[in-house]
Structure 1
Amino acid sequence: MLTSAAETTRRDPLLTVRGLDAGYGKIGILHGIDLEVGAGEVVAILGPNGAGKSTLMRAISGLLPLTAGSVTFDGADLSRTTPRAAARAGLVHVIEGHRVFTQQSVIDNLMLAGYDAPRAERRARIEEALTFFPEIAAKRHERAGALSGGQQQMLVVAQGLVKRPRLLILDEPSAGLSPVLVDRVLAVAGQLRARGTAIVLVEQLVEKALALADRVYALAQGRIAMQAGAREADLPARLERAYFGEHGRVATQ
């Protein structure tokens, strides 16, 4: 019997976040965050600007220390981890606004992303990552600064793939891209899901995010305001209520 992604997540989550609080200095941004992501599942994190979405991704991947709560990945406690250790465990964060090394070639940018892998294995990983992006594979020896903005974004995602993630965090991958290039990047996310990679997608383009996602969490004022399956009825209206209505509690499904 086939099992839905939501059922898989409840039974055997790959990523589990419990009671997570985080912020900057004395300013608390996130409050009591609980979420789960199953192996091979795409989970969208949606919410208005300033809701804390990127802060949450930074806390999960070790870029921002937790002030309370826990992050567990494949049974291992990553609550006090570093981004490097998280990536080695298979949790890779493609950071919003990340920039490539413009004076280095495409290949050199990818080599740097896989610096801790043996050289021969690094080469294999790079070729595998480039299969997803033929546009930049054809320009592998050109300077990254000569790529278009959309191609540089593809290179940023390819850098994440070189690390061979089991869970890939994509934080606003569509930022600054044309609609055609947005579709290309999200199509790659769909291909990765088909290969068994779990994805956490932070995205402002709600319709595109829901078309890819299995489940969605809505974040508002630093709290989970709603969680639901991405195919549930009346979801856009429920998201709007979660964004602008009563905050601070999970809506009943």
Structure 2
Amino acid sequence: MPISAAEALLEVRGLRAGHGKIAVLHGVDLTIHAGEVVSLLGPNGAGKTTLLAAISGLLPWGGGGVRFAGQDMAGAGPRESARRGLVHVVEGHRVFTQISVADNLELAGYDLPRRERAGRIEEALAFFPEIAAKRHERGGALSGGQQQMLAVAQGLVRRPRLLMLDEPSAGLSPVLVDRVLGVVAQLRAAGTAVLLVEQLIEKALAVSDRVYALAQGRIVLEARADEADLPHRLERAYFGQDVPTPLHA
């Protein structure tokens, strides 16, 4: 599918970012269109989590830029990004363990009018009947898989135009992995774009329209998810055989 900047929901151009003096991203370009699921794949340490954090405003940029829905995101932190419809669910099912499931979701929509917030909470819970049945239980009483569902539901309360999920399958049983990734397919059907960071390549490709591979802080492959021989091409990209040689050391 040709990439048209005019139609792009998210445009990342030449993005550089890192942690302190440690540079991680070295000029990343990435585009996502409305209603599209894009997987971001790569080996551990490639910079995938750093890229999501930079897009959502959790990390400052060292160069380049991000545009979302036609707006420059320079200076927008995570709260402002979420208000614009760009929602980041971080790795590791970060939920408040001492308060109820319902209160976790209330906090996710804290700045919404009460009636609208209540409606959005019910929308989010409809994706996860397992936690809807436990809405009055503490977050800490949920299993790891249920906590991951709650973390995704928190993001859905924001009714995002783009939902960024950082390894939502981490630590989950195969059945729960399928449940969480099944929600990604439902979101796509409803018109929500998803940027998915995932280690389970086959499962990620099954719910994706396109894929980017990141290695050593650079995009080394972009392809449609249904292209022939894609797993082999990803392996080559991961191990550096297709990585462009930098012009400067």
TM-score normalised per structure 1: 0.94
Question: Map of 1:77-226 to 2, 5 A cutoff?
Answer: 77-226=72-221
1:38 corresponds in structure 2 to 33
RMSD: 1.3
Per-residue displacement from partner, 1:177-208 (whole Å, max 9, x unpaired)? Answer: 00000000000010011000000000000000
Contact 1:224 1:249 in 2 (8 A): no
| TM-superposed deviation, 1:98 | 3.8
Per-residue displacement from partner, 1:201-250 (whole Å, max 9, x unpaired)? Answer: 00000000001110000000000011011011110100000000236439
Q: Separation in 1 of the partners of 2:186 and 2:129? A: 14
Per-residue displacement from partner, 1:8-58 (whole Å, max 9, x unpaired)? Answer: 766511000000000011110000100100000000000000000000000
Q: Separation in 2 of the partners of 1:166 and 1:227? A: 22
Residue 164 of structure 1 aligns to a residue in which SS?
Answer: coil
Contact 2:237 2:243 in 1 (8 A): no
2:54 corresponds in structure 1 to 59
Identity of matched residues, %: 71
| Deviates further, 142-151 or 239-248 | 239-248
Aligned with 2:9 (options 5, 10, 14): 14
Residue 57 of structure 1 aligns to a residue in which SS?
Answer: helix
| TM-superposed deviation, 1:61 | 0.4
Structure 2: give runs of 5+ residues left out of the alignment: none
Contact 2:236 2:242 in 1 (8 A): no
Work out whether 1:76 is the aligned partner of 2:71. yes
Aligned with 1:241 (options 224, 236, 242): 236
Residue 67 of structure 1 aligns to a residue in which SS?
Answer: strand
Relative to structure 1, is the Cα distance of residues 247 and 31 closer, same or farther in structure 2, using a 3 angstrom cutoff? Answer: farther
In structure 2, what residue type is equivalent to 1:198?
A
- For these two proteins, the number of residue pairs brought into alignment is 245
Contact 1:226 1:249 in 2 (8 A): no
| TM-superposed deviation, 1:101 | 1.0
Contact 2:3 2:31 in 1 (8 A): no
In structure 1, what residue type is equivalent to 2:83?
R
Q: Separation in 2 of the partners of 1:58 and 1:207? A: 24
Q: Separation in 2 of the partners of 1:178 and 1:98? A: 14
Residue 81 of structure 1 aligns to a residue in which SS?
Answer: coil
Per-residue displacement from partner, 1:118-152 (whole Å, max 9, x unpaired)? Answer: 11111000001000000010111111111111111
Q: Separation in 2 of the partners of 1:139 and 1:65? A: 38
In structure 2, what residue type is equivalent to 1:163?
R
Structure 1: give runs of 5+ residues left out of the alignment: 1-5
| TM-superposed deviation, 1:103 | 1.2
Contact 1:22 1:30 in 2 (8 A): yes
Residue 239 of structure 1 aligns to a residue in which SS?
Answer: helix
TM-score normalised per structure 2: 0.96
| Deviates further, 138-147 or 152-161 | 138-147
Residue 110 of structure 1 aligns to a residue in which SS?
Answer: helix
Q: Separation in 2 of the partners of 1:7 and 1:84? A: 32
Relative to structure 1, is the Cα distance of residues 9 and 183 closer, same or farther in structure 2, using a 3 angstrom cutoff? Answer: farther
